[in-house]
Structure 1
Amino acid sequence: MKHQPAPMSFTLWLAMCMLLCGCSRNAETEECSDAIYSSGDIEVFSDSIIIGNVNYTAISPYEITNCWKSTSDTPDPHITLTSSSLMADALFNKAISTCHHSSPSVTDIYLHGALLDPQRSMEALRSMVDTDGTIHRQGFPIKADKEAWAAAAWEIYCATGSASWLKESYRIINRTLQKEHFTIKADPDGLIHGTPSYMEPPQNYFPSWMSPVDRFHTICLGTNLWHYATISVACKMARKLKLYAEREWAAAADRIRNAINDNFWIPSASMYGQYMYGNLYPVLSSSADNRANSLSVILSVATPEMGRRLMESRPTRSYGMPAVSPSINDAAAEPAPDIQVLQGIAAAHTQDEEALLEAIGPLWCMGLDERTDAGWHSLLLRGLLGIRLHPDGLSLSPFIPGKLPGEKRLCGLRFREAVLDINIHGSGNKIASFSIDSVSQERAFIDQSISAGPHRIDIVMSGNSLSDIQHTIATSAPDTPPLLKYSGTTTGTERYSTMTKMPYMMSTQTEFCPKASPTLTTLSPTPAPQ
């Protein structure tokens, strides 16, 4: 008789299955991890964050171990988030409570303040206006420190529908543009001089040989994106006010948008250069201003195809997207919360799940800092929930990754005279059904005429996969920008694009058009110009 092996005990069989199939939070393979984000010594889960050997756990919506505990049962009864992720809820509550104790910046108002607290945001913008009725600019003309004022003002108008605020803010924007027209204009297509407020201190963003005058003569991507937004807002406000100036503003906005795409976009790198520098014959920097690159998507300056390519070629690091890549020094490469917020919102615009998760992970880590709100509430509202304010209402276009499943309930969101409780069921980017107070609607839109008082909004997502489109990304940000030098003569007729190595002819009217063959040499890996 053939010998039969003894049957395996159930306990041994179960142990082997657990050994072969079980998943650990330290698992190296993506398939074997339930982490929302994992890179380097960081692992982010729905209820905890591990950074090195330190574990931060959300034990309630109002407490994170080793990090933060609310001093009251509800940090802000005005608006709350309840979801299947305690960490998402706790960081949202922490952000809301923290931002209420600090003065909002112009960008904060644009991203979330206009929606969450329009009256406070309105007063904050008014405080930035000089006695002559123009926007106060402390570092003008070198620095444009209130560059998002007009965009923030438009968000407030859409949130409130205030006709008086519309007239007041349009008057301020118009006066400011008229006052600055001859001072900062750099190009007949509408590009302007000056550096954005976040490029501080200058030595982190500009070569050491640059004087204040040299920095003023730079034509920065970030400054011109916000300038485009300002002109676009002036056009929208003029339209609402039924002014003839609408056509002029619209034409000016188109010129600026085209000029940005013509002069800053680097096709071979699928990104925009951070600035053009040099007084008479500007050179395009091959480094990327990652704030501005994401902003180009949010403001719809980049075409949809350019936006997708920009997200796919984004630089990444464990602790978040760097400010500049490649950078002049380590300080310029440091990631910051607002960069991750803008990246996440841009990722939602371009429907890129990987880019969104790569923004959420580092942003949650930054949110553990008790001194800052980080901006998770901005990314949640503008990115995951896809809330957009319009003059005639509020639209929603949720983009929910599969790694953030379950119901999400945002309670107490005020819009005009209504108080909205928004319930989102499931994940994906396609809406299966949308209803207001149990009444089905054809589109995910809340009209400005919605009655005062509480309303329940229910959104059921289709559960479709967001990972069907393959994305190819740069796995790390380059560390050192190339040193540039001119070969041949510089006769005063050419300027150069550093990444594409394509010279451009410049007419006496400084109109740019592609020409000729490359004469620019890239030296690597020598340090940046000092």
Structure 2
Amino acid sequence: NDDPLWLMAAAEAATVAGDQSGYRRLRQLARTLAERDAPVFWNSYIGLFQGIPTYLAAKNAGLPAWMEPTDIFECMALADNVARTIAATSLQALDSFYGLAANGYLPVTPDSLRRNINTRMWLPNLGRYSGLLYGSPAYPVQLLSSDNAAMALAILGGVASDAMTETAVRRTPVADTGIGHCTPEWNDTLPAAPPSGLLRQALWTAVCARSGNEAAYSSAVAALLYRRLHLLTADSRPTDGSADRAVTSLILRGLLGMRFIAGGIEFAPFVPENLPGEKVVEGLRYRRSTLTIRISGTGNAISTFTIDGTPAEPFLPADMEGNHTVTITLAGASALRGVANITESAGNAMPPPPRVSWNNERTAAILPSGGNGDSRYLVYLNGTLAEEIYRDSYTLYDAPETTTALFAPVNSDNATGFAGAPYTYIPTGQRITIPAAAVGRTGTRIVSDKTAAARLVEQNRYRNRNMTFEVEAPRAGTYLLDVRYINGLGIVNRQRRAVLRRLEVNSQPAGTLVFPQLSAAWWDKNLGEQWQELAARTNSLPVRLESGSNTVTIRYHQPSPVYLDPAHNTVLIESINLTFLHS
């Protein structure tokens, strides 16, 4: 889902443009997106949005092969959550500037989402953000690798604190060619310098400027210019303008330190000491004015700032019209000399996830999927790091409650990779299974076997549109609810679009169930015959049940705008499962 990134960019463009009529259209669209996205992607149990941007879902991005669509859907990406926070913050600032009534763009306040990001995704021992939470919607595990573009956005967008910014800039490894896609890299087969790397480097350069770290900033500027010059002599050059935009970003966001707000432009210039001399930007159009900006000196301490020769605060009001000249003189001093983590490469690759085979309910064999064969793993139980082991087997303790276990490999460079597929141990009496035939009208023409059809409930816009039933909970607490359904309905759903259903518990919204329809071509993954398995499970939703009777409703949902033909919006449900987590 790239809507959050698009909305963040659109809100920034609206802030720069100052077009109130255009902004009114944008805020209405933002409200529509919020109403559509929150029921589907918001994980109220964790306090973050689920889903990942498309660049992390690409075939070579590095997600583990065990992840099926429901596993990917349950992931919580730094990029999406940061983009939503920045977009909502910008939109609220514009609402205030234009005197418009407050508009709800998130299920929570931007400050609340910001706190949740920093609590759930910051890795204090590593000095960076986790790029992804994965493995369970109730007990997600932090991936010990950053998404560096998303981390840069978190810093530039004010999500990260000053202390986090200083630590990230000081500790993130940077090579001569710039910062890597991730730290450590998710996939060692990614191109060394894809065109998108220039834009990522431009973001990181602005981050280093914001931090005031002279050493890191100088190295970031050098890496960006090196990449740009390399492209000038390369046989194949990007034709999308990304190279020029990266240099423009360096000038505006880095050297001039321009930050756009609704009322004008704030300046916080920073020129590294190895780029002395006067620099001139001419013909820069901003709303109803055309600017010439002259900057001389180095460092980030402003000696003089004038507008048309008149001393002023480092701020240009948005209501200025016509031609104007801004002159900036820097005092030649930096607030922080700083250090940079310069390395031969931007980061090592993560080890591949292991293959985990559970011999019985509590004993696992852990098989490395390549690498040097080291048997070193971090053991996560219910999302918490429980221990580090140096063996290829594990025995789970006799847990009294439902426990999800994951094993993340650690290589000789101390890089930690994705864990193997999660395993959930469910003690006796902790799971409730409700046959669909007990709560809905059975029978379907889709399945020719009448015995099998009698166990299934077909749900579409005509049949069982709203399945409402009672669940007797032996005790109050949080349960994970999932639905077992028939997979691969290519006869009905020819494009194999994911079917969505809204869940309500005791008349309160409880999230969205996703019913992917797999095919042999899904991601070109080597699934063998797995895609043809008759039954599959939806994503799991944490729900609160009271002791005794609870009313559960699975509602038919037709997305708008329509991406799935209503005639194909059909699912065959076999059972509903509820697993007790805790009181």
Match of 1:453 in 2: 322
- Which one of 262, 275, 287 corresponds to residue 416 of structure 1? 287
- Which one of 153, 160, 168 corresponds to residue 10 of structure 2? 153
Superimposed CA distance per residue, residues 464-522 of structure 1 (whole angstroms, 9 cap, x where no aligned partner): 146x5332526354423256789989999721359999xxxxxx9xxxxxxxxx99775
Match of 2:411 in 1: 524
CA distance in 1, matches of 2:295, 2:347: 39
CA displacement at 1:204 relative to structure 2? 2.3
Distance 1:156 1:356, change over 3 A: same
CA displacement at 1:317 relative to structure 2? 1.9
State whether residues 291 and 326 of structure 2, in contact with CA within 8 Å, keep that contact through their aligned partners in structure 1: yes
Match of 1:331 in 2: 189
Match of 2:130 in 1: 273
Match of 1:173 in 2: 30
> Larger % of helix: which?
1
CA distance in 1, matches of 2:144, 2:386: 5
Q: Check if 1:227 corresponds to 2:84.
A: yes
Greater Rg over alpha carbons, structure: 2
For 2:146, the aligned partner's letter is: A
Q: Check if 1:238 corresponds to 2:110.
A: no
CA displacement at 1:161 relative to structure 2? 1.9
State whether residues 236 and 246 of structure 1, in contact with CA within 8 Å, keep that contact through their aligned partners in structure 2: no
For 2:298, the aligned partner's letter is: S
Match of 1:469 in 2: 337
CA displacement at 1:326 relative to structure 2? 1.6
Report sequence identity in percent: 27
Match of 1:313 in 2: 171
Ranges in structure 1 where 5+ consecutive residues have no aligned partner: 1-143, 502-507, 509-517
Distance 1:376 1:297, change over 3 A: same
Distance 1:472 1:379, change over 3 A: closer
Match of 1:436 in 2: 307
Further displaced range: 410-419 or 332-341: 332-341
Match of 2:382 in 1: 494
Ranges in structure 2 where 5+ consecutive residues have no aligned partner: 365-378, 390-400, 421-583
- Which one of 284, 293, 298 corresponds to residue 156 of structure 2? 298
- Kindly report which structure 2 residues correspond to 1:29-108, keeping only aligned pairs within 5 A, or say none: none
Q: Secondary structure at the match of 1:276?
A: strand
Superimposed CA distance per residue, residues 192-229 of structure 1 (whole angstroms, 9 cap, x where no aligned partner): 11112322524423112212222121111111111111
Q: Check if 1:395 corresponds to 2:253.
A: no
> Larger % of strand: which?
2
Q: Secondary structure at the match of 1:245?
A: coil
Q: How many residues align?
A: 369
CA displacement at 1:174 relative to structure 2? 0.6
Distance 1:289 1:472, change over 3 A: same
Distance 1:437 1:220, change over 3 A: same
CA distance in 2, matches of 1:497, 1:274: 17
CA displacement at 1:233 relative to structure 2? 2.6
Distance 1:246 1:172, change over 3 A: closer
| TM-score between the two structures when normalised by the length of structure 1 | 0.63
- Kindly report which structure 2 residues correspond to 1:4-23, keeping only aligned pairs within 5 A, or say none: none
State whether residues 301 and 334 of structure 2, in contact with CA within 8 Å, keep that contact through their aligned partners in structure 1: no
CA distance in 2, matches of 1:499, 1:478: 25
Greater RCO (Cα-Cα under 8 Å, separation 6 or more): 1
State whether residues 192 and 219 of structure 1, in contact with CA within 8 Å, keep that contact through their aligned partners in structure 2: yes
User: Cα RMSD (Å) of the superposition?
Assistant: 3.2
For 2:302, the aligned partner's letter is: I
CA distance in 1, matches of 2:258, 2:300: 13
For 1:496, the aligned partner's letter is: T
- Which one of 147, 159, 179 corresponds to residue 289 of structure 1? 147
Q: Secondary structure at the match of 2:324?
A: strand
Q: Check if 1:340 corresponds to 2:201.
A: yes
Distance 1:402 1:149, change over 3 A: same
Q: Secondary structure at the match of 1:316?
A: strand
CA displacement at 1:238 relative to structure 2? 3.1
CA displacement at 1:158 relative to structure 2? 2.7
Match of 1:27 in 2: none
CA displacement at 1:189 relative to structure 2? 5.8
Match of 1:205 in 2: 62
Q: Secondary structure at the match of 2:174?
A: coil
| TM-score between the two structures when normalised by the length of structure 2 | 0.58
Q: Secondary structure at the match of 1:422?
A: strand
CA distance in 2, matches of 1:390, 1:428: 24
CA distance in 1, matches of 2:188, 2:136: 27
For 1:359, the aligned partner's letter is: A
Match of 1:63 in 2: none
CA distance in 2, matches of 1:221, 1:448: 32
- Which one of 235, 255, 271 corresponds to residue 384 of structure 1? 255
State whether residues 128 and 168 of structure 2, in contact with CA within 8 Å, keep that contact through their aligned partners in structure 1: yes
CA distance in 2, matches of 1:430, 1:406: 16
Q: Secondary structure at the match of 1:348?
A: helix
CA distance in 1, matches of 2:208, 2:363: 43
- Which one of 348, 365, 389 corresponds to residue 479 of structure 1? 348
Distance 1:478 1:444, change over 3 A: closer
Match of 1:367 in 2: 228
For 1:380, the aligned partner's letter is: I
Superimposed CA distance per residue, residues 412-435 of structure 1 (whole angstroms, 9 cap, x where no aligned partner): 011121111000011110111111
Q: Secondary structure at the match of 2:281?
A: strand
CA distance in 2, matches of 1:500, 1:345: 37
State whether residues 413 and 420 of structure 1, in contact with CA within 8 Å, keep that contact through their aligned partners in structure 2: yes
CA distance in 2, matches of 1:308, 1:498: 29
Match of 1:358 in 2: 219
Q: Secondary structure at the match of 1:148?
A: helix
State whether residues 484 and 523 of structure 1, in contact with CA within 8 Å, keep that contact through their aligned partners in structure 2: no
State whether residues 322 and 332 of structure 1, in contact with CA within 8 Å, keep that contact through their aligned partners in structure 2: no
CA displacement at 1:288 relative to structure 2? 1.4
CA distance in 1, matches of 2:97, 2:386: 42
State whether residues 381 and 406 of structure 2, in contact with CA within 8 Å, keep that contact through their aligned partners in structure 1: no
CA distance in 2, matches of 1:499, 1:481: 19
CA displacement at 1:365 relative to structure 2? 2.7
CA distance in 1, matches of 2:64, 2:131: 13
Distance 1:463 1:277, change over 3 A: same
Distance 1:387 1:254, change over 3 A: same
- Kindly report which structure 2 residues correspond to 1:111-122, keeping only aligned pairs within 5 A, or say none: none
